[in-house]
Structure 1
Amino acid sequence: MRQNDQAVARLALQLMDLTSLNQDDSTRSISNLCVSAATAFGPPAALCVFPEYVIWAKQESLRLGLPQLKIATVTNFPGGYPDIERAVAETERAVAAGADEVDVVFPYRAFMQGDSDLGQELISACKQACGEGALLKVILETGVLQERKLIRQASELAITAGADFIKTSTGKVATNATPEAAQVMLEAIRESGTNCGFKAAGGVRNVADAATYLHLAEDILGADFLTPARFRFGASGLLSNLVATLSGQDATTAGNSY
């Protein structure tokens, strides 16, 4: 096992939003998710669950002695619907339930049809709904936007509207995180001069995948960017690959991403 693999795995674990966004989720599966977060190498940055499981996940993480574990959720998910009132109401309910972070889906289809005002208004309104206590991560759905120009424009719009993070994907479409999209987004963050963070979600399955995004972010924004306050991975099965790597086990078949 290369020492560098273990260093990447340790860092990636600290930066991960351990995620379960499945239609068959239950209190039992979310409890199991919380248990899996209590690794021998420390917890991930956050758990990301559907809004109806925020309270349960928070209670379970406290029961397991993980008070530092953030609880994230999703709103306007997964379709990025063009309904500002709906997105705001979902965000308000999530924050009231105790969500520390909200990943809201950008109305990407309306944006692709030329309506950029809707996206800006929705993000600004959801940012206000988050108040002072919750982070707002904006999911751009870059696999649908596809074109570098559109990804860049959506990134700039989200940052200007107040996003605390910009995120690649819901994990629910054919193409999710890619290094190409990540590069565009990271360059937009750099050129904005803001403290906006970045989250790669979907398709990050193993240490090698994680290393690709970590090196890319470091090249564009520097090593100081690689903290939970600025960089995240959204994944589910990635955890097993990271733990196997850190344990010195064969990690070649471990890890899938939502």
Structure 2
Amino acid sequence: MKHLTSQDEQMARQMIGLLDLTSLNAKGNEQRIIEICQRAVTPVGLVAAVCVYPNAVQLARRTLNKLHGETVRVAAVVNHPYCKADIETAVTDTRIGLVWGADEIELMYPHRQLLTGDRQNGKDMVSACRSACGDRAVLKVVLDTGHLKDPQLIRKACEDIIAAGADFIDTHSDKAIIGASSQAARIILEVIAEIGGQGGLKVTAGMRTFEEARVYLELARSRFGPHWVNANHVRFGGASLRDDLLMGLGVLAPGG
């Protein structure tokens, strides 16, 4: 990307602090976990979180602490990648992540059940994981909206997820074939607005550039105002976005 204008630099720096970096390609691959943690500490500040499997949480936390990234959150991703309807396993994996020190739980919502007309399974899963988290961890729920083509179905799922106690709704998983859409983000923000802004939006999949991410940041700003846009309410997923932002800020060479 081209070097950012001075007006955009501030927004790009803000985006760095809203990033979640994910490493879910290989369970137990310690080097990959270490590398994603290294990428979390950038020349212009820290990202918001590193997302890993529950059994990698301890390594991620230890690595970040050594890198002086103590304030980077560690999220344990559960029910990934198949979005199963198995509530017991989702809760067990949530508890494993918490035992190892997870600050956040990122739960894959069972959207296939929703497509069959079953809203209860998803509500029960979110509620059970919320109970397991208690006050110890933020609960982010990945809806994978690309599979739910009906806007009303997306809305109903968002209403269920928020009512069951989620702190964030994520538009997609990191494996999504269909990328993020502004329509899905608007629906999520509308549902959050209906409960007074007490929730968060995460946008994942298909975002690789500053210009693409700007669309979603501005959606959140226009709905709630600039002061609402922080890591407690807005997250972006994508390692490619991180690199594009750093290149735009002139602290990373192409391919670096």
- Per the normalisation by structure 1, the TM-score is 0.93
Give the gaps of 5 or more residues in structure 2.
Answer: none
Residue in 2 aligned with 1:237?
240
- Aligned residue for 2:215, secondary structure, equals helix
- Aligned residue for 1:30, secondary structure, equals helix
Which residue, out of 171, 176, 184, partners 1:173? 176
Contact (CA 8 Å) 2:57, 2:97: kept in 1 or not?
yes
Q: CA deviation at 1:134?
A: 0.5
Which residue, out of 185, 189, 198, partners 1:195? 198
Is the aligned partner of 1:147 residue 2:150? yes
Is the aligned partner of 1:47 residue 2:50? yes
Is the aligned partner of 1:102 residue 2:110? no
| Code of the aligned partner of 2:146 | G
Q: How far apart in 1 are the matches of 2:27 and 2:133? A: 27
Go from structure 1 to structure 2 and tell me whether the alpha carbon gap of 1:11 and 1:25 turns closer, same or farther (over 3 Å shift). Answer: farther
- Aligned residue for 2:25, secondary structure, equals coil
| Code of the aligned partner of 2:136 | G
Q: How far apart in 1 are the matches of 2:216 and 2:8? A: 14
RMSD: 1.7
Residue in 1 aligned with 2:128?
125
Q: CA deviation at 1:194?
A: 4.6
| Code of the aligned partner of 1:142 | T
Q: CA deviation at 1:24?
A: 7.1
Residue in 2 aligned with 1:5?
8
- Aligned residue for 2:68, secondary structure, equals coil
Contact (CA 8 Å) 1:20, 1:236: kept in 2 or not?
no
- Aligned residue for 1:35, secondary structure, equals helix
Q: How far apart in 2 are the matches of 1:248 and 1:93? A: 37
Q: CA deviation at 1:100?
A: 0.5
Q: How far apart in 1 are the matches of 2:97 and 2:139? A: 11
Residue in 2 aligned with 1:79?
82
Q: CA deviation at 1:4?
A: 2.8
| Code of the aligned partner of 1:5 | D
- Aligned residue for 2:177, secondary structure, equals coil
Contact (CA 8 Å) 1:54, 1:98: kept in 2 or not?
yes
Contact (CA 8 Å) 1:123, 1:158: kept in 2 or not?
yes
**How many percent of aligned residue pairs carry the same amino acid?**
38
Question: Would you identify which runs of 4 or more consecutive aligned residues in structure 1 move more than 3 Å?
Answer: 248-251
| Code of the aligned partner of 2:100 | A
How do 1:246-257 and structure 2 match up within 5 A? 246-247=249-250
- Aligned residue for 2:45, secondary structure, equals coil
- Aligned residue for 2:201, secondary structure, equals strand
Q: Kindly provide the CA deviation profile for residues 195-219 of structure 1, in whole angstroms up to 9, marking residues without a partner as x.
A: 1111001111111011010001111
Q: CA deviation at 1:193?
A: 2.0
Q: How far apart in 2 are the matches of 1:73 and 1:202? A: 18
| Code of the aligned partner of 2:240 | G
Contact (CA 8 Å) 1:8, 1:210: kept in 2 or not?
no
Q: CA deviation at 1:107?
A: 1.1
| Code of the aligned partner of 1:75 | V
Contact (CA 8 Å) 1:142, 1:176: kept in 2 or not?
no
| Code of the aligned partner of 1:222 | G
Q: How far apart in 2 are the matches of 1:221 and 1:112? A: 31
Q: How far apart in 1 are the matches of 2:228 and 2:222? A: 10
- Aligned residue for 2:46, secondary structure, equals coil
Contact (CA 8 Å) 1:206, 1:242: kept in 2 or not?
yes
Residue in 2 aligned with 1:135?
138
Contact (CA 8 Å) 2:91, 2:128: kept in 1 or not?
yes
Residue in 1 aligned with 2:228?
225
Contact (CA 8 Å) 2:20, 2:51: kept in 1 or not?
yes
Contact (CA 8 Å) 1:5, 1:207: kept in 2 or not?
no
Contact (CA 8 Å) 2:208, 2:244: kept in 1 or not?
yes
The number of equivalent residue pairs is 253
Go from structure 1 to structure 2 and tell me whether the alpha carbon gap of 1:25 and 1:241 turns closer, same or farther (over 3 Å shift). Answer: farther
| Code of the aligned partner of 1:20 | S
Q: How far apart in 2 are the matches of 1:15 and 1:68? A: 13
Farther-moved stretch of structure 1 (51-60 vs 24-33): 24-33
Q: How far apart in 2 are the matches of 1:172 and 1:149? A: 24
